[in-house]
Amino acid sequence: MDPRAEVKNAADPQQVKGAARRQQRREARRLAAYHEVMTTVAGRAVMWDLISQAGVFRSVFNPHDGMQSFNIGRQDFGHELMGLLLRVDAEGQLYLQMEKEARALEVREARDTDAAHTVAASEEEQAS
């Protein structure tokens, strides 16, 4: 956002009201954009990736203070993003759909990995 002041004279009620209206319109556009992202499978996948990368599902502990502070900040961003996504979808249906899709993908990927390990193990046995 432009660092320019929203009002030139904070004592002028008209300028203050106008600034508040502009801020409300900006926030409404922002929320609408996030809602639009959450209505697509790809958008939900990206949002889940950001939340996961922020570390909201793991401990922030690190014996190195600097890294722990970094992890705390990163996780805080993830919590803010989660809150925003829940705010743009009052019923939480899109958020729940996102989580369901992500969990299903994790299960499929784990199954694929297990299958690859099984094939590799049986190939090793045949080679012996």
How crowded is the C-beta side of 83, counted as CA atoms within 13 Å? 6
Q: How much is the pTM? A: 0.82
Query: Do 7 and 13 meet the contact criterion of CB atoms below 8 Å apart?
Result: no
Instruction: Measure the CA–CA gap between 47 and 74, rounded to whole angstroms.
Output: 15
Average confidence score pLDDT of the chain: 93
Phi, psi of 45 (to 5 degrees): -65, -40
Residue 65 has pLDDT above 80, yes or no: yes
Residue 123 has pLDDT above 90, yes or no: no
Residue 46 has pLDDT above 80, yes or no: yes
Query: Do 31 and 87 meet the contact criterion of CB atoms below 8 Å apart?
Result: yes
